[in-house]
Structure 1
Amino acid sequence: MAVYFLSDFGTADVYAGVVRAVLLRRAPGATLVDLAHDLPAGDIPHAAVQLYAAVPHLEPGGVVLAVVDPGVGGVRRALAVRGERLWYVLPDNGLLTLASELDPPQAAWALEPARYTDGPVSATFHGRDVFAPAAAHLAQGMPPEALGEPVDPEGLVRLSLWTAEGDEGEVVTFDRFGNAITNLRPRERPEEAHVVGRRLPFRDTFADVAEGEAVAYIGSSGLVELAIRGGSLREAFRLLEGAAVNLHGPEEEPPPLEIG
């Protein structure tokens, strides 16, 4: 069975590698796929967007091990969740908010490490001691009931994020190129997008505008993204998460687009 591993552990330290080692030691027949490990540290909304983008491409029946856990050692729950297509092992901190729109949770269990591992549990490294052994358990086809008590999947923590098929949304996060990722998922391609008083034409790809020009497009995850060809829209527009984005235009004529 495939295990898909997403984290903010980075690659400069051993954390991600140790989690991989624990998982493969416990489930030697598993196929381990690294989705990403250089996510912004503790940025749950960003991780939620990345998980949303990945889920449609993962093999049904696989296990998603997602560890972006700024609340590690606190009161947040550790969960195993069964979706319609995939299993998820992760902290209950909103990571599933967007992915659950694509793969609705059907059942969930609160992880109790004493039930499935006999080693010590670090207060600061649940990725190694709590989540990896649970993911290995599921990857071997073992029953989730052995991991802990069932909990209501309707009670999972949700961020104030959602995908919107209408004309109004917001910037959720940015990729490493400075492109803005919104929560807008239009059914048809609009003519333009508006953010912080700027009008951006909708195009199919960056190549459809000149170097240094701003553009809106449907990203590979199906969400509207905003970018500058060859530059960082985040820096050029001084844009922040939560900035309003609309696809129908401002009430007044916007000022000319000036970049820089």
Structure 2
Amino acid sequence: MELERQAPVITLLTDFGLNDVYVGVLKGVIAQINPALTVVDLTHQIPPQNIAAAQFNLLNAYPYFPAGTVHVAVVDPGVGGARRSIALELSDGFLVGPDNGIFTGLLAQRTILHAVELTNTEYWRVLQPSNTFHGRDIFASVAAHLANGVPLLNLGAPFDPATLVKLPLATCTPTPTGFSGNIQYIDRFGNAITNIPGDFVQGKRWSVTLGKRTIPGCRTYSEAAPGQPLALIGSHGWVEIAINGGDAQFQLRLNWHDTVQVVT
């Protein structure tokens, strides 16, 4: 007996928060097209308009979903303006959202098979979308049709992926004593996640230098005394700076893009 094919998953990542109906409306649009589709909320707590935070979270979530998943990412300060609405086909999934750099980190690791600007209004929710809510009127609707099996090239006009908007990504560089990088993300616990791969320190004795402060490299949070700083390889695979039972961002006065030195 042939097993029934499971419908693809749709993920949603936005800065909409949970105080308003915006997230529920996206799901309603998808359900109007196919209520059997599985919709997963990656997060809706991206800081408002923070495209860099969105691309970091999508990059880290993407590998945990089955091939064919349609990922909708909407952090869109340029909504209604000149930026393109796009859909991209990769070898193992689809991306739908604004062309504002939100897919930068992920695309640095993967090849785009096809890229289209979403110009075919047949797959929009309405012919005249709101100038402030393309997530509802374009992206959610397009994602549902993709998950239903509509070929990506039917959705609009193809374009050269080389023209995609890209965010500048800070680089991790070797130094005489180790590596120099930056804080690329701070999570809700106040953990500061760097752009230094954990592979660079795995199995070594190492520490992190922040200005004049030296923070020991550990395997777990509990290796530091309560309230004390530590560095470790997080579940995302990057070197992160934390406080055992505390908030490293607040206690160490850390900010996005701060320079971090790893000494090995």
Give matches, 1:139-218, under 5 Å: 139-161=147-169, 164=172, 166=174, 167-189=179-201, 191-218=206-233
- Helix, strand or coil at the partner of 1:182: strand
Amino acid at match of 2:152: P
Deviation for aligned residue 1:163: 6.3
- Helix, strand or coil at the partner of 2:113: strand
Report the aligned-residue RMSD.
1.7
Deviation for aligned residue 1:186: 3.8
Deviation for aligned residue 1:165: 7.4
C-alpha distance in 1, partners of 2:113/2:263?
Answer: 37
- Helix, strand or coil at the partner of 1:98: helix
Deviation for aligned residue 1:216: 0.9
Structure 1 range deviating more: 42-51 or 177-186 = 177-186
Aligned to 2:234: 219
Residue from 124, 132, 139 that aligns with 1:131 = 139
1:246 aligns with 2:261: yes
Whether the 8 Å contact between 1:164 and 1:186 is mirrored in structure 2 is no
C-alpha distance in 2, partners of 1:172/1:60?
Answer: 27
Deviation for aligned residue 1:248: 2.6
Structure 1 residues 187 and 22 mapped into 2: Cα distance closer, same or farther (>3 Å)?
A: same
Residue from 67, 87, 93 that aligns with 2:94 = 87
Instruction: Give me the identity figure in percent.
Output: 40
Question: Where do 5+ consecutive residues of structure 2 fail to align?
Answer: 1-7
Question: Where do 5+ consecutive residues of structure 1 fail to align?
Answer: 250-260
Structure 1 residues 74 and 196 mapped into 2: Cα distance closer, same or farther (>3 Å)?
A: farther
Residue from 223, 233, 250 that aligns with 2:248 = 233
Deviation for aligned residue 1:162: 5.2
C-alpha distance in 1, partners of 2:110/2:67?
Answer: 10
C-alpha distance in 1, partners of 2:106/2:94?
Answer: 12
Aligned to 2:3: none
Q: So what's the TM-score if we normalise by structure 2?
A: 0.89
C-alpha distance in 1, partners of 2:11/2:173?
Answer: 28
Whether the 8 Å contact between 2:196 and 2:238 is mirrored in structure 1 is yes
